[in-house]
Amino acid sequence: MRVYWSARAKARLRRIAEHIREQRPMAVEPTITRIVERSWRLQELPRIGRAVPEYAQPDLREVLERPYRIIYRVGAERIDVITVMHYRELLPDDLDSL
């Protein structure tokens, strides 16, 4: 199974990188690399993440790469990263707003 990042998830990752760059420029590359590598590991064990407690959907899961949550959907033939966000951010009520 392959991992695909949605356009929205890629945009969120870029915003995270920009924010980190403002605070700690030397931490940008290692942090972004850790997040991306963590998502790639889902190819081998797609259901390793827990169900997202805010939504009652068994195919929607998350793994943590502290302090970030990588939220993804497990399909029959692929894994889609929906978003990546800081664990302190609140998830929207509407799943389509992720």
Q: Which residues pair with 71 in a beta bridge?
A: 62, 83
Residue ranges of the domains in the chain? 2-88
Q: Which two tokens stand for residue 6?
A: 């949605």
Q: In whole angstroms, give the CA distance from residue 49 to residue 51.
A: 7
Per-residue pLDDT in tens (0 to 9) along the chain, 98 residues? 899 999 999 999 999 999 999 999 999 999 999 999 999 999 999 999 999 999 989 999 999 999 999 999 999 999 999 999 999 999 988 888 87
The C-alpha atoms of residue 40 and residue 34 are separated, in whole angstroms, by 10
51: left (phi over 0), alpha (psi -120 to 50) or beta: beta
Q: How many CB atoms lie within 10 A of CB 63?
A: 19
Domain 2-88 falls under CATH 3.30.2310.20: yes
